Amino acid sequence: MSFLAIYITHSNEQAAQKVADELLRQKLVACANIFPMTSAYWWKGNIEHEGEWVSIVKTIPQKWDELVRVVEQIHPYEVPCIMKFEVAANPAYEKWIYDNVVML
């Protein structure tokens, strides 16, 4: 039983927490990890270096499309980074994720 780990970048801790809280409220994810990082990237013809925050949220594959829709609605970035990785973990953790994401 695999699940998704989804990587999302944010401008600051508050923005990351807002997205994580909304995804949790809607039962689209079982949990979120949030931490600071430094990013280097191309933006409008320039190389930028910024402090950002990243969240890694865990969910089931069936929630991917809805999760992307919700994040794009509330995320302040013009082009948010929302990447998914199919992952596996110990069976008890995978069960916990499936048990904590509501299937409607």
Across the range 42-47, mean pLDDT stands at 95
Is pLDDT above 80 for 103? no
- Partners of 56 in the beta sheet? 7, 33
Tens digit of each residue's pLDDT (9 = 90 or more) over 15-38: 999 999 999 999 999 999 999 999
Task: Tell me if 1 sits within 8 A of 92, measured CB to CB.
Answer: no
Give the pLDDT confidence score for residue 75 in this predicted structure: 96
For domain 3-99, give the fold: Alpha-Beta Plaits (3.30.70)
0.85 exceeded by pTM: yes
Q: Is the dihedral of CA 6, 9, 27, 95 positive or negative?
A: positive
Query: In this structure, what is the dihedral angle of CA atoms 60, 63, 68, 69, given to the nearest 10 degrees?
Result: -170
* 3-state class (DSSP) for residue 79: coil
Looking at residue 18, its amino acid is K
User: Are residues 8 and 19 in contact, defined by beta-carbon separation less than 8 angstroms?
Assistant: yes
